Structure 1
């Protein structure tokens, strides 16, 4: 079972945090002397004494995909412990010097309105970014995962290789331990999860074939979770950094990257395994969702999973919008009816500084792209058959070849 990014719930508005400049100022005194490694893994932690050492041990065992050791000094870790009462920070400090990478442990006591996972991750990433910028480290990279995460042995290398291949950001695949999954969740919920994941994977393939992205070729996934994320420091800053949100900060950051036309790679080979706990640290997060679904396995399906024909329309129109971006008005007007818009209105929406912003505007305004009624549980199997039928002829064409848009 993979654990998706927190996309199924609406995120609260970003909190304006006037204390962040003070936090950055405090880092002047807390950062160690000397330059950091070129890549830093930022990890937020709150009351994670039980699992955090497992995460650090997994990072200590990092290697190249071929099994050869990762070059010494390739990465370090910034662990930001916030509002913790179980000795997480002291335990981590006891590991400093016994790990094959530099470990910086920071402690923060966040006010109630900011004491959430999104702000903790933001501060961890800001601390890592500040350290890299202080010493002007070239080609600097930020990675992040969760304190209960167990990165695969080649996780760091896979992320760095994808960035070296041209990505601005890399989103990894999140999985859970199968035995833990079976113990924690009833059979009915495991069955529902498997059906949702199957349908989701088919929609991702449909998108890759109807609207190919050279930076994110098939096979790929659509998980956008802070449990596995890597981003070039330059892209992180251009996107405005991680937003301060109690929920969905990872997806919101990816949306910000898309607005600057950053190249996002959803890499299935960059894997982090996380716990399948039913009492998590983020209110409204994955643990809360699983607890709710245990008693409501027939609840409507996660909002981003559209019916097959609606999804196909969205992907085709997105591919068409790419072709029309910065195109002459007559070319835009000739295709505007497909979006349910007048030519000048569509042209105005497309007149944005980036395609990401243009598509966001078009998707919000187009009647043809409005979200329909959420899928019901009983819709999953017939919709799965429908998307498989749509994919059958497309699979005869290489996924990287743009398909004609009707």
Structure 2
């Protein structure tokens, strides 16, 4: 069935240069509060913000609720409804974002350069400064912004106590290894303090950057991470800004297979399920970050293809190493090495390992901070020696 526009914006209505795109499927219980939160955005010039709702395969009263609420909103809204048997999360988010981009094209935004796309989820709650915080990060030099998320408190309170406790441990460890990464392999466009969350509930991107990487990947799962990965690999500046926060649902039955709801439910059912892939032991994390920094240095010096000692140490065959060295951008090179090296395979932690690794990280991190200070004071001074990846404790 072709898409149908409901309640189209009247001709002559000013076209916004900033548009939020939301895929929506059977969200009758949550869509009203989502829309109220978006309509409460503050700190924006009148007429700058618009909203696209892409209703796909809805079989409940979502469309009726949207039709009743949209006329009373203070921002222009475009609603698209479509039924498609092959629908999935990546397909729906891409359709929503493409429609938002097309709307900005109508405003004759020069080459899309001034347009900004944002996306969140229909079961999420954005704070009143969400759009303004994203725009501030973009105006500071970023091409895209990845926000962090927390569970809606009243929903999180209904979960088994073990799950929030595990979440607090994971958050603590993630912050520690993220700072380690920022110290060892710093990104001038994404300095510490930052985070490493990549989720469709909070993404913002310049329209020209969005199009240059081919748009949101149309894949069933992980489209958000794949999109940010594509931006980084092609050299775009992605800011993981801690000032950008969205509250996400803690429900156990979601709309997308493999999404947040499935993750929460599986961890309720299996408390000992492995942590996320990047949650590896401190020695392995340090080893990975040090190699990334070394690869960037070798690339910058033009030595990556001339001296393949790096590939031998990482267990990458010569032919594959030469192919990787010939990639045009250092972000692509680092990502390809991560995939190709058996010695950089991710080995995520078990939840019970987190307390010990947190203690280890808190011991190592001051040494890294000291090393950074010494390096800044005397450029020839190397960083302190850190453990190799021989231990998985």
* Normalised-by-shorter TM-score class: 0.7 to 0.9
1:44 correspondence with 2:23: yes
Matched residue, 1:60: 39
> CA 1:99/1:343 → structure 2, altered by over 3 Å: closer, same or farther?
same
Tell me by how many angstroms 1:366 deviates. Answer: 2.7
Aligned equivalents of 1:233, 1:356: Cα separation in 2: 21
Matched residue, 2:46: 72
Instruction: Choose which of 127, 139, 149 in structure 2 pairs with 1:164.
Output: 139
Structure 1 range deviating more: 91-100 or 245-254: 91-100
Aligned equivalents of 1:366, 1:83: Cα separation in 2: 42
Matched residue, 2:89: 117
Aligned equivalents of 1:145, 1:189: Cα separation in 2: 24
> CA 1:404/1:147 → structure 2, altered by over 3 Å: closer, same or farther?
farther
> CA 1:222/1:377 → structure 2, altered by over 3 Å: closer, same or farther?
same
Q: Deviations along 1:36-94, whole A, 9 cap, x unmatched?
A: 20000001111112211211111121123xxxxx2111211001111112221222222
> CA 1:205/1:324 → structure 2, altered by over 3 Å: closer, same or farther?
same
Aligned equivalents of 1:191, 1:38: Cα separation in 2: 41
Tell me by how many angstroms 1:314 deviates. Answer: 0.7
Matched residue, 2:11: 33
Q: Deviations along 1:151-178, whole A, 9 cap, x unmatched?
A: 1111000001111111110001111122
1:153 correspondence with 2:132: no
Q: Which runs of 5+ in 2 are unaligned?
A: 386-393
Aligned equivalents of 1:404, 1:53: Cα separation in 2: 55
| Bigger relative contact order (CA 8 A; separation at least 6) | 1
Q: Deviations along 1:338-393, whole A, 9 cap, x unmatched?
A: 54458886454222111121112222223432234x32232211111222222111
Matched residue, 1:355: 330
Q: Is the 8 A contact 2:304 2:325 kept in 1?
A: no
> CA 1:210/1:32 → structure 2, altered by over 3 Å: closer, same or farther?
farther
> CA 1:400/1:146 → structure 2, altered by over 3 Å: closer, same or farther?
farther
Q: Which runs of 5+ in 1 are unaligned?
A: 1-18, 65-69
Aligned partner of residue 72 in structure 2, secondary structure: coil
1:248 correspondence with 2:239: no
Aligned partner of residue 228 in structure 2, secondary structure: helix
Matched residue, 2:274: 300
| Aligned-CA RMSD value | 2.6
Instruction: Choose which of 143, 165, 168 in structure 1 pairs with 2:118.
Output: 143
Q: Is the 8 A contact 2:250 2:264 kept in 1?
A: no
> CA 1:125/1:197 → structure 2, altered by over 3 Å: closer, same or farther?
same
Q: Is the 8 A contact 1:173 1:223 kept in 2?
A: yes
TM-score (norm 1): 0.85
TM-score (norm 2): 0.88
Aligned equivalents of 2:50, 2:362: Cα separation in 1: 44
Q: Deviations along 1:107-151, whole A, 9 cap, x unmatched?
A: 11112x2x2222111110010111212433240010001111111
Q: Is the 8 A contact 2:233 2:330 kept in 1?
A: yes
Tell me by how many angstroms 1:313 deviates. Answer: 0.8
> CA 1:256/1:400 → structure 2, altered by over 3 Å: closer, same or farther?
farther
Aligned equivalents of 2:183, 2:162: Cα separation in 1: 32
Matched residue, 1:6: none
Q: Is the 8 A contact 1:307 1:383 kept in 2?
A: yes
Q: Is the 8 A contact 1:38 1:137 kept in 2?
A: yes
> CA 1:345/1:42 → structure 2, altered by over 3 Å: closer, same or farther?
closer
> CA 1:332/1:55 → structure 2, altered by over 3 Å: closer, same or farther?
farther
Aligned partner of residue 84 in structure 2, secondary structure: coil
Q: Is the 8 A contact 2:338 2:345 kept in 1?
A: yes
Q: Is the 8 A contact 2:295 2:304 kept in 1?
A: no
Tell me by how many angstroms 1:274 deviates. Answer: 1.6
Q: Is the 8 A contact 1:212 1:400 kept in 2?
A: no
Aligned partner of residue 143 in structure 1, secondary structure: strand
Between the two proteins, the alignment pairs up a number of residues equal to: 374
> CA 1:45/1:173 → structure 2, altered by over 3 Å: closer, same or farther?
same
Q: Is the 8 A contact 2:8 2:79 kept in 1?
A: no
Instruction: Choose which of 173, 183, 198 in structure 1 pairs with 2:148.
Output: 173
Tell me by how many angstroms 1:180 deviates. Answer: 2.0
